[in-house]
Every structure is written in structure tokens, then in C-alpha cells.
Amino acid sequence: MHDVAPRQQDAPVPPPGAGVSFVMPVLNEERYLRAAVDSVLQQEVDGEAELILALGPSTDATDAIAQRLSADDPRVRVIRNPAADIPVGLNLAIAASRFPTIVRVDAHSALEPGYVRQAMTTLARERAANVGGVMRAEGRTPFQRAVARAYNSRVGLGGGAYHSGGTAGPAESAYLGVLRRSVLDEVGLFDETIRRGEDWELNLRIRRAGYRVWFDPALAVAYWPRERWSSLVRQFRSTGTWRGELVRRYGRRNSLRFFAPPALVTLVALGLVTAVLQLTGIVHGVASVVASVLYLPLAAYAALVVVYAASAQAGPGVRERAWALLVLPSMHLSWGVGFLIGVARGARENIDTSRLRRNTPLP
């Protein structure tokens, strides 16, 4: 049965000076939390503002930093998120908030100056329920810079508008997002059964209710990717697994670009099997020649990675370009493997462990 197109409706616009609530889930962010909070407190807001930090069970100095930030500025409030999950922390923070506009902030990011002022203008002009902009990934080390450039590249993450930019207009989802609380009250908060991709699912419900989700390229957020290869792989495998779960739940509503990494993983697996069969002589002659066709898309992908790594797009330094040879396949293959696992058996209890220390038990 086909979905019936929802009746389009405008999101309500709060009166001037109604205030803004920033919500930020936090876990093991001792190196980034202060910069993230400072970027929030420096925003120009029409009316009052508050920042609610939902603290997960961190194993570093994050909690102490958060408490100092709260003591130094009355706008910063701290609540506990024992579950550690992002959607749970977001919901706890939203429930504790006081103002009619909600600004989601990642503790691994920093809002650009003027972010809230621009977002509020766009929300009011478009009568949208949610507006988001561009994630501008940045790095501090050669590896992290290589990852950041891959994030910002169409080759890296498939050309989604919030990674590579584009024109303003209606969107499928929004990075982080500035949301109208009244719409959240109507459609519900974040689905706590979804640990990754919770923003996409929420925006699906917003759009189903007839409200607009808007992309504004004038909005920008600095984001720092994972700093280690192992953390990057675990993050992307978890993200892919949850996207597979979302495909199980919502099928064709998922963009086609999500199916490219699992297709690559499938080709790699078939290529390895074919190579073994050829080397052992099980497949030979004309059959071997025909089977070798499988190598063509893999060779094209390898060439794409090499060309990207050799280009200025991968970075100005030799070390960044060298890391790019590992970063791109790692992102694509780990995400693709996770996706296939998620589609086959669901995400179940999958947890993104990329921000947990290896010697620390899961919460």
C-alpha cells in the first residue's frame, strides 16, 4: 500500500525573545568538551539561553570539566544519562529544557559564529520544523585531517548535502538540527531503540506529519572525527549496522547512496572467492576469463582511491595523502560490513564503542 502524502503545514514560530535551549549528550570528551561549550555560549540568542549537558558514564576527566563549566556559567546545566546512549541523553536534555527552540549540539563539534542567529532566521522564514547545515570536518593530526577530508569529499561519504554542501531547500534529514519544541511534542522525541541514525528517523516522522525539514548551507558546524584508525573502523561499522536496521524497518525510504558500501563489500568477497577458485584450478579456461570480470569494478574502485589520495583534495601533505589510501577503504568497507550485518540480523544490542577506552567495560 502506498503512503498517502501528508498535508503540508507550517511549524509555529515562537514570539521574539522566547529563548533557546541547547542540548548536548556527552561521553568521554575531555579533549573537545570545552571548545564545544564555548562555541554555544558565544552564540547570539534573542532572549534567554540554556545549555543542558547530558553526561554519560565517562571514564576520563569529562565530568569534572562539565562541572567546572556549569559552575562558571549559570546557563550551563548538568544532568545524568546513565544509559550513555545518544537518543536517551537527548531526550533527557529536551525534557529538562525550558524554551521553545531546541538546538542539538555534538560534544565533538563546535558551532560556527552566527549559527543560531542564521538558523532562527531560516526557521521563521521557511516555517520549518527543523533546519540543519553543513558538517565541516577538521583535523588536528595527519590521520584526523585525512579522515576529515574524506568526510568533506563526495568520494568519502557519498555526497550528502550536509557533508559536501549544496543549495538550500527541503531535506531528508538535518545534521544536528535546530528544532521547534512544539513539533517534537507532537511527533515524539528521539526513538530510544535506535542508537545510531536516530536523527534520520526523527526527521522521517517530522516529514510524515507534514512539516518541513530544511537544509541551509549558510549554517556550518566544525566536527572533529575519530583520532585513531581502530576507533574509526568501530564507529563506521556501528553506523553501518544501524543503517541496516533502519533499512529493515523503513525499506525504500532510505537513500540509494546507502547501498554503495555493502555493494563494494559484496564485490570484494566475490573477488576473493573467485581468486581462490582460480588459483586452485577449480575454475579455469573460459570460465576463469568470464569470472575475471568481477575484478573490473574492484580495479576501478582501487584506481579511484589512488587518484583521490594523489589529489589535492586528500590534503596538502604527504602524510595526509598516505593516510587517505587507508582511510577511504576503511570507512567504506567497515560501514558496508556493518550494513550487511544490520540487514541480516538487525542491530540488536550493537553499541558504538569508538569513544570508549579499550580497557574500560561497556556501561
Residue 287 scores a pLDDT above 90: no
Cβ-based neighbour number of residue 91 at 10 Å: 22
CATH of domain 20-225: 3.90.550.10
Q: What percent of the chain has pLDDT over 90?
A: 75
**pLDDT (average), residues 64-71:** 97
Confidence of residue 356 (pLDDT cuts 50, 70, 90): low
For residue 357, is pLDDT > 60? no
**Cα(289)–Cα(273) distance, rounded to whole angstroms?**
14
Q: Where are the domains of the chain?
A: 20-225, 250-345
pLDDT at 361: 36
Which of 195 and 327 is assigned the larger pLDDT? 327
- Range of weakest confidence among 11-20, 227-236, 311-320: 311-320
pLDDT in tens, 267-278: 999 999 999 999
43 φ/ψ sector (left φ>0, alpha ψ -120 to 50, else beta): beta
Query: What pLDDT score was predicted for residue 255?
Result: 72
Higher-pLDDT residue of 187, 317? 187
Q: Are 340 and 265 in contact (CB under 8 A)?
A: yes
Percent of the chain with pLDDT over 70: 91
Residues 56-84 have a mean pLDDT of 95
Interval 154-172: pLDDT, tens: 888 866 656 666 789 999 9
Q: What is the pLDDT of residue 196?
A: 87
Cα distance between residue 87 and residue 91, in whole Å:
6
Using the predicted structure, report yes or no on whether residue 354 has a pLDDT greater than 80: no
Which residues, 6 or more positions from 235, have their beta carbon under 8 angstroms from its beta carbon?
226, 352, 354
pLDDT at 285: 87
Q: Is the pLDDT of residue 236 over 90?
A: yes
CA atoms within 13 A on the CB side of 359: 1
Res 4: pLDDT: 47
pLDDT value of position 353: 66
CA-wise closest residue to 32 among 68, 79, 65: 65
* Mean pLDDT, all residues of the chain: 90
